[in-house]
Chains A and B, each alone.
Chain A
């Protein structure tokens, strides 16, 4: 295509995507109405509402087949789950009530995901711009898509269900040939593959080699197999396998590996503050960074610098060395005066080529230089590499080492930030305390290594199930805390209750066989019109609710009474 055709094409695609979003909203409203109608009929006569279920199935089917084309692959994956559940409900002899409960839950997850996907989605022109190279973290607002290639349908179905509990969008392929076609058409984020197919003589490793020939960037492949002899392992290593799991597959282990292979997925977009008085130039820089999926803001008034830092909380500051009336060097020193911003990386944007001047600037507080003028692609690459390094360092300092979640001090700090923001913007905010039930018993019975795995499984589940704008931390031993901006009590209850249900469905493997674990949770929230509560009050309320959940039988979510306004 010629460049102008390409622009035209992108604009048309963007328009189609916007139209599609409207349509999906309508269809979801229809689904909700049909579910309600179906539930009414079911409660009345105990029979499956055939008409409502069939209609819901065809809507889910359409969504499953179309959402990915418009850049909403995770939503498509969820719709597929709903379609499968309706299929099961419509199978003669199915147990109607539990099947309908599953459908209902699946639908509410779909609603939650839709809001998240649409709210987090990059502008359409960005997502579908064919000219643009996509950085991996541009997709980070989406759930990870995993292709399971397993020709034993029972093993495949088990894997699919458990991975879905963890919140992955899973496609199951029982045919290796079909899997290749689908993966070429839309590569997933990771592949889980059986090394020994039962129905074809081809081995998994051979399948990978074939796929590698046609795919420019191969997603990570995790192998599963019933034999773990040396030649098999060697073959898998040679084919570039990124993990190996014996059957029966310990799915929480597999998920831990997936999490490590897809770290970008959890990340929020990088945030860059550009301080420059040359507005057209800083707007241009902002646009370039935004095209790479970063969030950028510009500031031309140095006097507002500290306010902006507090509000925007950037990962990195790009600062012009000479601003009218101010010196960039002194501004950097001023920022460094504040304990809070001691380690914030500052990079000078400058035409400065004098080495002494650069060194002086570095000594005082800037970490690096980017010399102007600079070609667009160099600018993007330079900032990209610096902001990534800054984020990685920061994450390392902030993380709980075992789970990769925020540590105790930082999750409390995040609560403070979010509370300030919620008060300022008059939005709702919820705090959740979660605790694994009878955890000591698990450690005593199955050993600490297994106990650690249970903790990591819950951490992974929370990461998958909550939005990436939510903050999640390990509060202590087996206790977790989450902060959900923009959510009131009712909404959080449904989300956390789903987490609870998914968690209790995850099979853990031990020497004594499979076992299951439950959790209890307490939720407290301020509503959009509420005000004046401290983080400690919210925490105490959530903690009280958790205590009540423990005392009334565990494996439940309890809401704190609404805090007085």
Chain B
């Protein structure tokens, strides 16, 4: 199955806007954008995403905490999650993977490449 629906959780409005453009216009994906972990837990199940992109550092509920909560929701429990982060030291990355992230996309990302990166992760995952 091709990748079509992506849930994107990011508190930074500028990054939200450029990622939406990158994923929808460049990548032709359907994207649901949420500004917080809480909003993602609320809207996520209705959207039934195939893949979730999750910012790590967010005020309030951060990425790892959101992931734990998502795993409690039947509709999101099995959806692969990719962390997006500017902190990519080896120990940090190992930490994210241990927390259940399937992959890590480093920030900053190139808006022309983001959709390709996400699709490549999806293909590897399949």
Answer yes or no: do A and B interact. yes
B-contacting residues of A (Cβ < 8 Å)?
1, 5, 8-9, 12-13, 16, 19-20, 23, 58, 61-62, 64-70, 73, 76, 80, 128, 130, 151, 172-175, 178, 181-182, 184-186
B58, chain A: closest CB distance, angstroms = 10
CA distance A151 to B86 in the complex (A): 18
A299, chain B: closest CB distance, angstroms = 37
Report whether B25 and A5 are in contact in the complex, using a CB–CB cutoff of 8 Å: yes
Contact residues in B for A173 (Cβ distance below 8 Å): 88-90
Report whether B17 and A16 are in contact in the complex, using a CB–CB cutoff of 8 Å: yes
Residues A58 and B57 in contact in the complex (CB < 8 Å), given A1-B26, A69-B109, A69-B110: yes
CA distance A192 to B76 in the complex (A): 41
Report whether A16 and B18 are in contact in the complex, using a CB–CB cutoff of 8 Å: yes
Query: Total interface residues on B, using CB and 8 Å?
Result: 29
CA distance A80 to B107 in the complex (A): 11
- Say yes or no: is B4 at the interface (Cβ < 8 Å to chain A): no
Say which residue of B26, B59, B90, B107 sits within 8 Å of A66 (CB atoms). Answer: B107
Report whether A178 and B90 are in contact in the complex, using a CB–CB cutoff of 8 Å: yes
CA distance A444 to B113 in the complex (A): 54
- Say yes or no: is B77 at the interface (Cβ < 8 Å to chain A): no
A31, chain B: closest CB distance, angstroms = 16
Report whether B57 and A175 are in contact in the complex, using a CB–CB cutoff of 8 Å: no
A166, chain B: closest CB distance, angstroms = 22
Interface residue SS majority, chain A: helix
Q: Which of B81-122 contact A (CB under 8 A)?
A: 85-91, 93, 104-113, 117
Contact residues in B for A174 (Cβ distance below 8 Å): 89-91
Say which residue of B15, B59, B104, B110 sits within 8 Å of A181 (CB atoms). Answer: B104
Contact residues in B for A62 (Cβ distance below 8 Å): 12
Residues A185 and B117 in contact in the complex (CB < 8 Å), given A20-B14, A69-B111, A80-B86: yes
Report whether A16 and B88 are in contact in the complex, using a CB–CB cutoff of 8 Å: no
Say which residue of B25, B86, B109 sits within 8 Å of A64 (CB atoms). Answer: B86
Residues A181 and B21 in contact in the complex (CB < 8 Å), given A65-B85, A70-B14, A80-B86: no
Contact residues in B for A76 (Cβ distance below 8 Å): 108
B8, chain A: closest CB distance, angstroms = 14
Say which residue of B12, B18, B89, B113 sits within 8 Å of A185 (CB atoms). Answer: B113
B117, chain A: closest CB distance, angstroms = 6
Number of A-B contacts (CB under 8 A): 95
Say which residue of A12, A65, A130 sits within 8 Å of B112 (CB atoms). Answer: A130
Contact residues in B for A1 (Cβ distance below 8 Å): 25-26
Contact residues in A for B106 (Cβ distance below 8 Å): 178, 181-182, 185-186
A-contacting residues of B (Cβ < 8 Å)?
12, 14-15, 17-18, 21, 25-26, 57, 59, 85-91, 93, 104-113, 117
Residues A175 and B93 in contact in the complex (CB < 8 Å), given A12-B21, A65-B15: yes
Q: Which residue of B lies closest to A64 (CB)?
A: B86
Report whether A185 and B93 are in contact in the complex, using a CB–CB cutoff of 8 Å: no
A476, chain B: closest CB distance, angstroms = 43
Report whether A13 and B18 are in contact in the complex, using a CB–CB cutoff of 8 Å: yes
B57, chain A: closest CB distance, angstroms = 6
B12, chain A: closest CB distance, angstroms = 6
CA distance A237 to B106 in the complex (A): 30
CA distance A546 to B41 in the complex (A): 64
Contact residues in A for B87 (Cβ distance below 8 Å): 61
CA distance A186 to B15 in the complex (A): 16
Report whether B21 and A13 are in contact in the complex, using a CB–CB cutoff of 8 Å: yes
Contact residues in B for A13 (Cβ distance below 8 Å): 18, 21, 111
Contact residues in A for B108 (Cβ distance below 8 Å): 64-69, 73, 76, 186
Contact residues in A for B112 (Cβ distance below 8 Å): 130
